[in-house]
A and B are shown apart, each in its own frame.
Chain A
Amino acid sequence: MNSSQSASKPAIEVDNLTVSYGPVPALLDVSLAIPAGKLVGVIGPNGSGKSTLIKAILGFVKPDIGSVKILGEDVARVKGRVAYVPQRGSVDWDFPITVREVALMGRYGSKRWWQDMSRNDYALADRALQQVRMSEFSKRQIGQLSGGQQQRVFMARALAQDADILLLDEPFAGVDAATEGAILNVLTEARQKGKTMVVVHHDLETACEYFDLLILLKQRMFAFGSPTQVLEPELLSEVYEGKLRVFEALTNHTLEEVLQKGLVPGTGEGRPPR
């Protein structure tokens, strides 16, 4: 890939994608084109197909209809261009594997099955660990880390893969504020290097400050655009089914005001103690 190509073609192109696990499709007719070098958030209520979208972009789930193109090429034929940071809950933290070995997995895609890992691969894995400041833990078993450290190990794996596109499933779920900042730093650094990132996110409050673009999803795609375009009160109350009555407040206040006061429910501890 050269840079002129990446500028002209969208990093990720999803056309009329429908994925189902049963009679109800998890994703229905989703079409979007994510330009390269953007940090994109995917928001939507629980079970809205956010993880399915990520897995479709990875080529892990097969679409019933529609297509996913990575840098202009069909996803089935693209290998290793997309790195993946799994949801914390989906990882077996008791697995006998060390921090360094996880980072090294990022290099697996660059090798044929008969080729051994080279010294260069270990160096790249170590450098990736350094980037997320996890070098000193490289010999630890992954279960002996804090939640934020665990998240960073998988970030390192994605960095070691040196993919053009990073997909992250809820990286900010259940981590403390310091880790959230550390992960965000790694993401913004990666963006500076021209990586495209798609991040599943559950916190509407921070969504508008973290991401360049937002995808609002609930089975169908409800909106795709800048945070101010997507965080529209009518849209949100439609997607969240008016459960968030407080969205009415959005019509009276500016977005900033509402977010500052932490009026958006289901988003945690925005409220200062009384």
Chain B
Amino acid sequence: MDWLTEFHLANGHLIKPLVVGTLVSLACSVVGCFIILRRLSFLSDAIAHAMLAGVVGGYLLMKLLFGTEAHVGAMLLGALLAGVVTVGMVGFVTRVSRVKQDTAIGIMYTGIFALGAFAISMKSLGQYIHIDIYHFIVGSVISVGNSELWIAGLVTAFIVAVVMMFFRQLQLTSFDPVMAASIGVPVVAVDYLLTACTSLVVVSGVRIAGVILVVALVITPAASAYLLFDRLNRMIVAAAAIGISCFWAGFFLAHAAGASPGPSIVITGTAFFLATLVLAPKYGLLVDWNRRRRAVPQEIKEDVLGAILRSEQEWVPINDVVRHIASNKPKIRRAIMQLIRQDLLDQKDAGLRLTSKGRREGRRLLRAHRIWETYLDRMGTPANELHGQAHKLEHMNDEKTIDYLDDKLGHPLKDPHGSTIPEDFVDFEELSEVRSSLLREGFRAEIVRVEDAALRDRLMPGTKVSGGPRSADGIRWSLVTEDGSTIELSHDQADAVFVHRVESDPS
């Protein structure tokens, strides 16, 4: 209790600002959650700017009609009115013209702000107005009085009550307005309610941070909480806590530095947001960066398989593999560990061997590599660049991609270096139907159907055939029937004959 009394004696004048600030920060942050989820940040900004005209209007009205000075209630009402008019005008301009919303916002709130500034600066009217423009722009939480305390209390109580009572409605209309309407939630009324709440918190927030910065009180804590939590109720509680903490931190920072609290509170909020952005446990940059660093790129795993497949040794020493791949050692080791876990590699001491699954995957990659090489060669790529480019491209080894290239190239048998391109064993699944253009020499198959009418009398469904040699530079196919006769086919004709293989590859 001691320090509390001491604090009170020394800083008694700070109690009202601190209470008002805490209440207002809470209300702003809570409403801010819905604002950012509905992408309405502009709304709070527009309302804040419109306030000047509203405050001036309310002030003048009371002064000229009743002769009272600086009536808080009238100014607040004027501000609310100006906010609603701005939002209405933005909607109106967007609806009736081709001008888009962002432009309409820019036009309307600067226009209404200017109206207020114009009135203040006019000699004839200005003499009646005693509004401190500086404080209006940067806020003046230090000088809050009892009326502000009351307003802050009422606004905050109202906001908290609304959010607690209508949480489901606010959540559902923000997330899925179509469903909300279908179960009878008055979507438009909820929208108005939220606009009213926004006006209230902005108007009370201006006292703390000023018209230009008040938007930060609304959206910054909410955005930080958004990066931290996956559930709306938690996000709201967190936003309130962050908003209040940043207010206190900023307030005392300003106090210590002898500066104005408004900007200091906003700076604290922004700093907190940036820290969250980097450090957030789930959506933070650091976690993301770390995750990406730890992840083993698919390319390295493919390179490992390729290196082992191409090696002649039965058990390939790990060091040989590492030497073959252009990447850092820990990454390659992680890749090897993952491959072993995926049952693609066997390890014995410091030696590695492909499992049958790994061999299949390796051959699939080898096929992709050689088909890409052939493709590059046909495109006129210089021979000394073939391997390097194909090495990059082979990581595009999606089956459909490779099948397309293979078909376009006329199902080549050898790559530009003269090595055999593995056959399309992925499509040669047992009983799966393939085009006969995929058959290599010696492959035995049974005809399933023939889509070329001209071939139907010679090749009947059920006939057993085997692949014959290609001729004319590989662009003529041949099929050998069981009685020994040979049928020559063009690429298109071979494509029109559907077969399935009857026995496995003789190799």
From B174, B182, B230, B407, contact of A60 by CB (8 A): B182
B159 CB, min distance to chain A CBs, angstroms: 17
Instruction: Verify B232–A58 contact, CB threshold 8 A.
Output: no
Comparing B65-73, B162-170, B296-304, the segment that makes contact with chain A is B162-170
- Identity of the chain A residue whose Cβ is nearest the Cβ of B282 in the assembled complex: A141
Instruction: Verify A113–B231 contact, CB threshold 8 A.
Output: no
Whole-angstrom CA separation of A79 from B181 in the bound complex: 9
Instruction: Verify B232–A97 contact, CB threshold 8 A.
Output: yes
| A-side contacts of B437, CB under 8 Å | 274
Cβ-based interface call for A247 (8 A): no
- Identity of the chain A residue whose Cβ is nearest the Cβ of B38 in the assembled complex: A92
From A55, A109, A113, contact of B178 by CB (8 A): A55
Contact digits for B461-491, partner A, Cβ 8 Å, 1 yes 0 no: 0000000000000000000000000000000
Q: For residues 73 through 123 of chain A, which have their beta carbon under 8 Å from a beta carbon of chain B?
A: 79-80, 82-84, 86, 91-92, 95-98, 101, 105, 108-109, 111, 113-114
Cβ-based interface call for A59 (8 A): yes
Whole-angstrom CA separation of A228 from B86 in the bound complex: 55
From B171, B179, B235, B495, contact of A274 by CB (8 A): B495
Q: For residues 205 through 233 of chain B, which have their beta carbon under 8 Å from a beta carbon of chain A?
A: 226, 229-232
Contact digits for B425-436, partner A, Cβ 8 Å, 1 yes 0 no: 001000001010
- Identity of the chain B residue whose Cβ is nearest the Cβ of A84 in the assembled complex: B179
Instruction: Verify A92–B181 contact, CB threshold 8 A.
Output: no
Instruction: Verify B37–A141 contact, CB threshold 8 A.
Output: no
From A80, A113, A274, contact of B407 by CB (8 A): A274
Cβ-based interface call for B288 (8 A): no
| B-side contacts of A91, CB under 8 Å | 175-176
A76 CB, min distance to chain B CBs, angstroms: 10
Whole-angstrom CA separation of A82 from B230 in the bound complex: 28
| B-side contacts of A105, CB under 8 Å | 172, 175-176, 179
Instruction: Verify B181–A58 contact, CB threshold 8 A.
Output: yes
Cβ-based interface call for A273 (8 A): yes
| B-side contacts of A98, CB under 8 Å | 230-231
Whole-angstrom CA separation of A82 from B37 in the bound complex: 26
Instruction: Verify A60–B231 contact, CB threshold 8 A.
Output: no
Whole-angstrom CA separation of A34 from B217 in the bound complex: 52
Whole-angstrom CA separation of A97 from B234 in the bound complex: 10
| A-side contacts of B361, CB under 8 Å | none
Cβ-based interface call for B388 (8 A): no
- Chain B contributes a number of interface residues (CB within 8 A of A) equal to 34
Whole-angstrom CA separation of A86 from B168 in the bound complex: 19
Instruction: Verify A95–B175 contact, CB threshold 8 A.
Output: yes
Instruction: Verify B172–A80 contact, CB threshold 8 A.
Output: no
Whole-angstrom CA separation of A161 from B174 in the bound complex: 19
| B-side contacts of A111, CB under 8 Å | 168
With A95-B37, A97-B232 as known contacts, state yes or no: A273 contacts B403, CB within 8 Å.
yes
| A-side contacts of B37, CB under 8 Å | 92, 95-96
From A80, A97, A113, contact of B169 by CB (8 A): A113
Instruction: Verify B182–A58 contact, CB threshold 8 A.
Output: yes
A68 CB, min distance to chain B CBs, angstroms: 12
- Identity of the chain A residue whose Cβ is nearest the Cβ of B411 in the assembled complex: A274
Instruction: Verify A108–B168 contact, CB threshold 8 A.
Output: yes
| B-side contacts of A79, CB under 8 Å | 182-184
From B174, B183, B229, B427, contact of A80 by CB (8 A): B183
Instruction: Verify A109–B435 contact, CB threshold 8 A.
Output: no
- Identity of the chain A residue whose Cβ is nearest the Cβ of B437 in the assembled complex: A274
Determine which residue in A79, A86, A96 has the highest number of CB atoms from chain B within 10 A of its CB, and name it: A96
| B-side contacts of A95, CB under 8 Å | 37, 174-175, 232
Whole-angstrom CA separation of A273 from B428 in the bound complex: 13
From B174, B182, B226, B427, contact of A59 by CB (8 A): B182
| A-side contacts of B433, CB under 8 Å | 272
Cβ-based interface call for B341 (8 A): no
| A-side contacts of B230, CB under 8 Å | 96-98, 141
Determine which residue in B177, B183, B232 has the highest number of CB atoms from chain A within 10 A of its CB, and name it: B183
| A-side contacts of B403, CB under 8 Å | 273-274
| B-side contacts of A86, CB under 8 Å | 176, 178-179
B213 CB, min distance to chain A CBs, angstroms: 26
Q: For residues 108 through 167 of chain B, which have their beta carbon under 8 Å from a beta carbon of chain A?
A: 165-166
A-B contacts, 13 listed (Cβ < 8 Å): A59-B182, A80-B184, A83-B179, A84-B182, A97-B231, A98-B230, A101-B232, A108-B183, A113-B166, A113-B168, A273-B400, A273-B404, A274-B403
Q: A84-B179, A96-B226 are in contact. List 11 more A-B contacts (CB 8 A).
A: A58-B181, A58-B182, A59-B181, A79-B184, A80-B184, A84-B178, A86-B176, A95-B174, A101-B231, A101-B232, A109-B184
Which 4 pairs show the lowest CB-CB distances between chains A and B? A109-B183, A79-B184, A141-B230, A58-B182
